[in-house]
Structure 1
């Protein structure tokens, strides 16, 4: 389409020239007409007028048609960025409804809050919990609600979560531990019932601590809430929504308390789900716990609606209990269409929770076999938490992305769409990321393949008519509230690694082997979307040399960056060619496309579709000789990118301008800018050995008898390059940009830290080559054992010390770094422990 548009622009330029000539010619005739009229030369005038009329008769309709065509083409190009791909959806629009999938209708689909539940519907009511430590005479104590690293909690995570029936969440605050359990019970036509039980226990040395717990329900655009208030006490809420029908939510009875406690409530109107925390804060009033000692605490102010609103318009109801510890309470949700002969409370709740835990433990061991692998109970508990926090971090979002193309002068809305997806980090990245999701589903598919198929289907249904998927999904007010405005807009030239093909490798084999009609139908709906995605990569991300690829989106004018970032590759600041040009060849993208070609060929063959194009592409992209020609540096003896590059550059602060007067104050210092000390040359970027150099090995493209494989295995074990006692660092210690800032305010990210997703690929590749006939089996097996142990032992040790799984790990100390908890792709350590690749 880009080439066609270019030709049309050329034609428009030529035709514009023709129009200019016609105008000049018309003026000439007009002049002649006046002259001839004054001279009474009618025959000449008649001839000229006749020619002019003929010309206009022919040209005018053509100009009109061309104008209409130009307007139509311009509108079409503008609309392509937010037009759906015109093929059947993989996930039908009603697939997540209570009628079609009641088991997964309710869930912990709000990963950005410490504890929250909602349904898989576009405008679901949401429920959740907040808490604070009261009794303070100073500023208002922090109100915990959103997962925030700034809260500095010693620990929070889902300890156990099966993705369907139940979950157990634990949050350790400085004075107490809050355990939040929920269990679902099927029944009726609207997704059944559930109960949440909150148990708060004081930590050692904090006996007698006091906590304020808040449990709320809020509407998101439709439905009604009717609080049940008796003698100033909020007993529960009756409500209705399109998806849930009639329902009620019951709070604990004040007569059941065994501790000193007081109760408050809030009935109000919230402008959006992103405003719930601040709305609670604005509703606080000061009360006194002990009137003699005058110990103040914050309590909710009751019904607080705008003056022009009726109570029936309230959309946010909060129950608050302030109590001494220990304390336990249950909140019970009951659907109006369920049979309530047995209520999911008390001993019934305890019994069902125990049964679900037993089933979880049995399934976990049968799938991962960590006892069989000889892991301790500490290691097993760590693995269960890592898996559960990934499963419990799966969210259901609905909304519109903000997108832009070269044809849209301003960002435009994508179509409203749902997304069912895991998230990288509940605190820092509680939303969908395309390349992360491929790694997530390597683990999720091992736990529940159907769940993974649902997630992958939702992602591919976000594809537009071009075959493009926005790489970061920020859907709904809650998700958008966590993202700075400058990162919200997604641009359709920008790719992301097609990592969904990683889990699809094994999923496709499984579906083909099952020979079930439903599995075949899934592949039939999957295939045209993957075709469009594959074609989009092969039309937008091609290099100038055949069978090479180039990540689009690098900024050649980024004067404040030492090496312009390649955000689209997922490896952000990893060193590439220093001067972005069209001549770049990116090794990692070429390898990703080799993987995609192989999977596409497998799916096409299984469906009896034409597979030869994909098979041919796979043969070309895995041809080791061609790979060596395009990406092997004989000088450095490693695979690498190619481009216009120099390693001789540094960041320098520009000198301030000279003052124009003696009393002029000095201007603020400018940000540092890149200074190139040696001109760049076209060639291999071969002094930066790191993750990109490993991609032919990581994605198992190298033949088992390849001498290049032998060189990579030798380099892997070199401590001066990537090898550490904690995993493989992302960039070699002798690389020019190792651990260097990319800008004055941009610390190193993929320039030395240990990343678990790439280490998983390395361990998987070593396992592959250790079991492939070839001269390097023993060496690969030896490295595999040591690297796997290093990664597992360090991650468990850091979890024991800090309470978290981390985004990355320091290559010198092994210490966790970056965001936490990061049980996105870092949870792949569970698959490494189980040796499932």
Structure 2
């Protein structure tokens, strides 16, 4: 009995092991099928995500290539304008103009390496910190309304700019002549409009000249740091001279009291001009009008010490940046006029 019992127990144990093995085999097969199913689903999802992305990128690259090919492929028709239609020899009356989008006021030559002029200004209030420097037309700077009152697109124009309690009027006029658009002048009239106020915060105006290459600027400084002349030469324009006049009142030629500062450096690039001027402003200077108390103001370094090794521009290639600052105290109901004249110098002429 004991031996038969052990035999029956062995058979039962073998059956249990066989059943367990079969169960494990079935489970393994099910796991294998589940794994294969999951892998198939993951692959399908990856294909659904990657395939459209790849098609989109390839389409974008193809479109960019097609546009680039269109941009460099000239049409077979003859050009509407000759290649040198904007040169001073062909259109001298259009060589100089207010071709300065995105700035409140400025002029430039219509050439490959232009000579540019521009205007900045700032009101310095009693609160500490850097004042708001106006230069480029920004939607959130609070300036306005502004715009041209009239402009013939060629030889004259006038615009008004409202900046809080300050009103600026910019005017320009050209005198035709020669092969480079002739001479031109512009002036800026600064007028406070705050009623019941005996004095306004200090106002600083900045006039600058920028070259775009190896052209050379030669400044001439007068008394008290006033920049009287800026001479120079460019390949398209030849010799030229800017004359910066001291501020006056309308109908009065006597110069008004003003503090002067200058700065001279290589051209950092037009988008960086505003930030360069901001970074150079400091409060070392004092405005001392006769018979009045002195007041500190933020000014440029105040000398013509070249900041980048030498003013010749040789080896730099990015041109030069020269700027004059006028700091002045305006009285209520008073206007101050700043004038600038640009003359195309002839070799035999003396200006």
TM-score (norm 2): 0.69
Q: Name which of structure 1's ranges 216-225 and 286-295 shifts more when overlaid on structure 2.
A: 286-295
Equivalent residue for 1:296? 296
Instruction: Give matches, 1:95-494, under 5 Å.
Output: 95-205=85-195, 206-209=197-200, 210-231=202-223, 232-253=225-246, 258-286=255-283, 287-290=285-288, 295-301=295-301, 302-307=303-308, 309-313=309-313, 315-325=320-330, 326-337=335-346
Q: Secondary structure of the residue that 1:151 maps to in structure 2?
A: coil
CA shift in 2, pair 1:135/1:88, >3 Å: same
The answer as to whether partners of 1:137 and 1:296 remain within 8 angstroms in 2 is: no
Equivalent residue for 2:62? none
How far the C-alpha of 1:85 sits from its partner, in A, is: 2.3
How far the C-alpha of 1:134 sits from its partner, in A, is: 2.0
Instruction: Give matches, 1:597-612, under 5 Å.
Output: none
Matches of 2:242 and 2:298, distance apart in 1:
24
Matches of 1:167 and 1:149, distance apart in 2:
23
More strand by share: 2
Runs of 5+ unmatched residues, structure 1: 1-74, 344-837
CA shift in 2, pair 1:137/1:101, >3 Å: same
How far the C-alpha of 1:246 sits from its partner, in A, is: 0.3
Matches of 1:159 and 1:254, distance apart in 2:
23
- What are the Cα deviations for residues 284-303 of structure 1, in whole angstroms up to 9, with x where unaligned? 12122259966321111133
The answer as to whether partners of 2:246 and 2:339 remain within 8 angstroms in 1 is: no
- What are the Cα deviations for residues 700-746 of structure 1, in whole angstroms up to 9, with x where unaligned? xxxxxxxxxxxxxxxxxxxxxxxxxxxxxxxxxxxxxxxxxxxxxxx
The answer as to whether partners of 2:174 and 2:185 remain within 8 angstroms in 1 is: yes
Matches of 2:348 and 2:164, distance apart in 1:
42
Q: Secondary structure of the residue that 2:148 maps to in structure 1?
A: strand
Matches of 1:127 and 1:150, distance apart in 2:
24
The answer as to whether partners of 1:135 and 1:297 remain within 8 angstroms in 2 is: no
CA shift in 2, pair 1:293/1:126, >3 Å: same
Matches of 2:67 and 2:204, distance apart in 1:
55
RMSD between aligned residues: 2.8
The answer as to whether partners of 2:216 and 2:311 remain within 8 angstroms in 1 is: no
Q: Name which of structure 1's ranges 310-319 and 177-186 shifts more when overlaid on structure 2.
A: 310-319
The answer as to whether partners of 1:123 and 1:222 remain within 8 angstroms in 2 is: no
Equivalent residue for 2:43? none
Bigger relative CO (Cα 8 Å, ≥ 6 apart): 2
Equivalent residue for 2:40? none
How far the C-alpha of 1:310 sits from its partner, in A, is: 0.9
Runs of 5+ unmatched residues, structure 2: 1-64, 314-318
Matches of 2:293 and 2:243, distance apart in 1:
34
- What are the Cα deviations for residues 589-610 of structure 1, in whole angstroms up to 9, with x where unaligned? xxxxxxxxxxxxxxxxxxxxxx
The answer as to whether partners of 2:171 and 2:188 remain within 8 angstroms in 1 is: yes
Matches of 2:269 and 2:128, distance apart in 1:
30
- What are the Cα deviations for residues 303-329 of structure 1, in whole angstroms up to 9, with x where unaligned? 35345x212226111111111232102
Matches of 1:217 and 1:138, distance apart in 2:
29
Aligned length: 267
How far the C-alpha of 1:244 sits from its partner, in A, is: 0.7
